[in-house]
Structure 1
Amino acid sequence: MKNLGNLMKQAQQMQQKMTEMQAKLAETEVTGSAGGGMVQVTLNGKGDMKKIVLEAQAVDPEDKETLEDLILAAHNDAKQKAEAMMAAEMQKVTGGLSLPPGLKLPF
């Protein structure tokens, strides 16, 4: 029974660390870019878009498709960076504990 008590205590500590990590990530911002920096998209750690920056030369009324593609690429770049940051933080919380494939912890 003592081992079960220790396991429960460790689970509670991990849950607290996860909550703290989620709060930290919500405040962290990551910027992705495309077109050599002509388009930048900033997301917070939860994936919410916080800001878009467009350089004047990226805005061509005759070629809106390119701008749309650049925005998508910048968003995907920021999302990839945010996911990498989240994975690194998760490693810190779980201490390298490998979770089974498909098991996602709530964010």
Structure 2
Amino acid sequence: MKGGIGQLMKQAQQMQANMKKAQEEMASMMVTGESGAGMVKVTMNCRHEVARVEIDEEMIGDDKEMLEDLVAAAFNDAARKVESTVQEKFSGMASGLNLPPGMKLPF
């Protein structure tokens, strides 16, 4: 039993180190969400920090409400891409664990 606990602690420490490394990588991994056929783009890292917002010149005009909607849609597209990227990144780490159904990393 003692060896089992030691092995479990070793695995937990390794997983903690892997998660720290993955979180550092996420800060530099960038994704871009788009809307309006690419006329509005939002680029963010995998920590949901927005790095850039690009708006095509043609979009800057009288229709403020439409532009606001397109910026929101581009942001939401980027956020979905972040979630997908993070899920993919952490799925390998979780595969070695016997997590209950519905529980996912990062917690």
Contact kept in structure 1, 2:43 and 2:52, CA below 8 Å: yes
Aligned to 2:15: 14
Deviations 1:16-44 (A, max 9, x none): 00000000011110000000000000010
Alignment: residue pair count = 105
Query: What do the CA deviations read for 1:76-104 (whole angstroms, capped 9, x no partner)?
Result: 00000010000000112223646343666
- 2:106 counterpart SS class: coil
Q: Which runs of 5+ in 1 are unaligned?
A: none
Q: Is 2:37 the partner of 1:29?
A: no
TM-score when normalising by structure 1: 0.90
Asked whether the 8 Å contact 1:32–1:75 carries over to 2, the reply is: yes
Identical counterparts, % of pairs:
39
1:94 is matched by which residue type in structure 2? A
Matches of 2:23 and 2:98, distance apart in 1: 19
RMSD: 1.7
Mapped pair 1:77 → 2:94: no
**1:82 is aligned with what amino acid?**
V
Q: Which runs of 5+ in 2 are unaligned?
A: none
CA contact (8 A) 1:14 1:94 kept: no
Amino acid at match of 2:94: T
Q: Distance in 2 between matches of 1:102 and 1:4?
A: 23
